[in-house]
Amino acid sequence: MNPWKRPYLFPIYFIAAALVLGAVVMLLWNAIIPSLTGWAVLTFPKALGLLVLCRILFGGPRGRGGHGGPPWKQGGDWRGRWKGMSAEERETMRKRWQERCGPPRAE
């Protein structure tokens, strides 16, 4: 059986991931930041706190509902819509893109 399907193991995986990520943050910080800036060396509890702070500031508390995913995936299946368009609709769409973004670059 897949170990990820055993719900009683989830807390163990969560704690292990937090410990490993905290250690990685601490090691990277202590290897780079003090020699560059002269700031203090980071202890393990402070590394965990920094990890949580970064998650709050930059990641946000996302649950299963989330924020809808990345913006480029929120529009749905654009390839399917593009294939379903007539030639006139595609030409109209190309003109709208050129108005908004400029002419395509020659590469």
Report how far residue 51's alpha carbon sits from residue 27's, in angstroms, rounded to the nearest whole number.
13
Per-position pLDDT tens, the chain of length 107: 566 677 888 899 889 999 999 999 999 999 999 999 999 999 999 999 999 999 888 886 565 555 556 665 656 677 788 888 899 999 998 898 888 888 777 65
Task: Say if pTM beats, i.e. exceeds, 0.85.
Answer: no
Q: What is the pLDDT of residues 14-31, one digit of tens each?
A: 899 999 999 999 999 999
Distance, in Å, from the CA atom of 54 to the CA atom of 64, rounded to the nearest integer, reads: 20
6, 12, 48 from 16: Cα distances, Å: 16, 6, 12
